[in-house]
Amino acid sequence: MKFGPIPVEDAEGALLAHSIRVERAVFRKGRVLSAADLAALAEAGVERVTAARFEPGDMAEDRAAAAVAATVAGDGLEVAAPFTGRVNLFAEARGVLTVDAARVDRLNLLDESVTLATLPPYSLVERRQMVATVKIIPFAAPGEVVEQVEGPLMAVHPLAPKRVALIQTELPSVKPSVLDKTVEITRRRVEALEGELIGERRSAHEETALSGAIGESLRECPDILLIAGASAIVDRRDVLPAAIEAAGGEIEHFGMPVDPGNLILLGRIGAVPVIGLPGCARSPKPNGFDWVLQRLAAGLEVGRREIMSMGVGGLLVDIPTRPQPRTRSRPAAEPPRLPRIAALVLAAGQSRRMGSANKLLAEVDGAAMLQRALEAARASQAASVLVVTGHERKRIEAAVDAPTVHNPDYADGLSTSLAAGIAALPEDVDGAVVLLADMPFVSATHIDRLVAAFNPLEGRSICVPTFNGKRGNPVLWGRELFADMRGISGDVGAKHLIGANGDLLVEVPMPDAGVLRDVDTPASLADARSG
């Protein structure tokens, strides 16, 4: 890739490296300069631009990032669309993330142009939480480097409902209230991992009695058996391990390099894992037992090697020289996640230019245009879909299988439908992509590219699609614009808000002209049907 200052007259087709603001326009970083752009820059007195030109073998940043992400992503991961050389990967379900750390390191050492960052291996992640990001550092990466990337390198293993049984041993020194509290803390732990505590029984802290209790618990067919001893396990020949062996089991490992949680015991009776709990498991604070239980809940193997590989990062005790993290009143920051974007489909218009027919029910490629808009929204990363009805309400509602909101003032113009839709969106959405139901060539790919570009923290709250430099629809709006959108009037959309909020705007290049093609006349409908 060539990079540096270029005379304006020689810069057609080059990629602009730094944004340029002139009197009438802003040419943003990453724009491919056209002849019209260069004419406008020259007229404004700009003589040179800093830009990049690709050379043979270079792979543009978005294409390279998408290729790397597709290679490294394993099961349970959703790959977002690329934007500015970045692709984020999200968990499809709540579960445990596994990462091949050695191969991630090898990837990051291939070339400085390609990077991959992940959450720590075995992190417990939430659905739609970001778990990794691919970033191409310059505007392009060598294609030969991208081809060397190995994969898959990571996966999310979803939690599966597990039936868990608990046995507690008793000594005179242990109060019943402590045992009762342990049951509730254990129940909360298990249920937090989608499991069920199916039973709890108590026995004397003695090998024969405990062995009998183990046999009784196994008859309930648990997936996991937990044993909390009245006294800590201090040796492989102590009461708990001896009772497990007497019940026909085997001891796989004793101890772990995690504090708190050192004195954990891992055994097995047939196919059922048996965990002798460390004393800290009676507390709700995080400890090594949580790490073991999370992996078992996700169906992952836990044996001696897995236990003894937990030492790096295994110091969980509070450090006295800083505030105690688990006693702070301030809530923990929410982990990065896929934005909750609502798809708002406007289907209230009167189709005046189409004649007597309702254009939204006209078929293009075998499906009504309204149905094509819904299919695109559902196939995208939008978290919800809402249709705004108005003209011929009953016909429109009969044609859709999605939530609707009616705009009784639809005859007053597009703004009323927009306001009605925004007002009816869920409270937890971060933004809304506004789809016009008469644009049958808008696809899930277009919507996902807008979602990938959306980032209010970085000043990208209004995401506008472009093709060959021309702006189109749909537009994605951040929640911070909702109040202004509800305040507009007349037969116009929110286009004027784009000009009024240029600092929040990002143009998102699209691969085709689908974001420019609307169908509002018989001639345009015939053209759409002809391909």
173-187, 206-220, 482-496 — which is least confidently predicted? 482-496
What residue ranges of the chain are covered by domains with CATH 3.90.550.10?
341-530
User: Each residue of 505-521: pLDDT tens digit?
Assistant: 999 999 999 999 998 88
Q: Is 207 helix (H, G, I), strand (E, B) or coil?
A: helix
What residue ranges of the chain are covered by domains with CATH 3.90.1170?
58-158
Which residue is listed with tokens 């439908």? Answer: 417
**One-letter amino acid for residue 507 of the chain:** E
Work out the average pLDDT over 384-409: 93
Confidence band for 327, pLDDT divided at 50, 70 and 90: very low
**For 2-53, CATH number?**
3.90.105.10
The chain-wide mean pLDDT, for the chain, equals 92
Work out the average pLDDT over 34-42: 88
Helix (H) or strand (E) holding 189: helix 176-192
32-41, 247-256, 308-317 — which is least confidently predicted? 32-41
- Which neighbouring-strand residues pair with 259? 315
- pTM assigned to the model: 0.85
Work out the average pLDDT over 97-122: 97
CATH number for the 163-316 domain, one of 3.30.1330.10, 1.20.1260.10, 1.10.287.3510, 3.40.980.10? 3.40.980.10
Work out the average pLDDT over 78-95: 96
What residue ranges of the chain are covered by domains with CATH 3.90.105.10?
2-53
What residue ranges of the chain are covered by domains with CATH 3.40.980.10?
163-316
Work out the average pLDDT over 357-362: 85
Work out the average pLDDT over 427-444: 95
Sign of the C-alpha dihedral computed for residues 310, 316, 321 and 325 taken in this order: positive
The residue among 45, 101, 33 whose CA lies nearest residue 72 is 101
Work out the average pLDDT over 424-443: 95
Q: Which CATH architecture has domain 341-530?
A: Alpha-Beta Complex (3.90)
Confidence band for 321, pLDDT divided at 50, 70 and 90: very low
User: Each residue of 446-493: pLDDT tens digit?
Assistant: 999 999 999 998 889 999 999 988 999 999 999 999 999 998 877 667
Work out the average pLDDT over 147-171: 97
Q: Is 396 helix (H, G, I), strand (E, B) or coil?
A: helix
| pLDDT value at residue 356 | 66
Sign of the C-alpha dihedral computed for residues 246, 248, 254 and 260 taken in this order: negative
Which CATH topology does 58-158 take? Aldehyde Oxidoreductase; domain 3 (3.90.1170)
| pLDDT value at residue 32 | 85
What phi, psi does 187 have (nearest 5°)?
-60, -45
- Which neighbouring-strand residues pair with 319? none
* Cβ within 8 Å of residue 276, ≥6 positions away: 227, 229, 233, 240, 241, 244, 264, 265, 266, 267
Work out the average pLDDT over 236-261: 97
Work out the average pLDDT over 353-364: 79
Under DSSP, the state recorded for 247 is T
